[in-house]
Amino acid sequence: MAAVIDMAAFDRGIDPILDFFNVEQARALVAYHGDEGLRTRIEELAGRSTEGELTEQERAEYEGYVQANKFIAILQAKAKKLLSDG
């Protein structure tokens, strides 16, 4: 069962980080997609995961990327909002 997250608390903890970004940095964050090697590795692990072929170490690595991607996506969404409000 997934943990329930209080999004207001999450936002309260994350939103002040946006104060560290100027417009150029916010645009760079929105445009970020990781380097080709990283994207290739994630795609490889995703495929192995779909096939049920991940080792325990690969599963831990893949979950790390999944969590990082979620965090980056949240920051990118907040940066987009910052740019649209500014």
What is the tens place of the pLDDT at every residue in 64-78?
Answer: 999 999 999 999 999
Residue 38: how many other CB atoms lie within 10 Å: 12
Q: Which residues contact 18 (CB under 8 A, 6 or more apart)?
A: 26, 78, 79, 82
Token match 């500014």: residue? 86
Helix, strand, or coil (residue 46): helix
Please give the full DSSP string across 20-65, using - where no structure is assigned.
G--HHHHHHHHH----HHHHHHHHHHHHHHHTT---HHHHHHHHHH
pLDDT at 1: 62
The pLDDT of residue 64 is: 97
pTM for this entry: 0.80
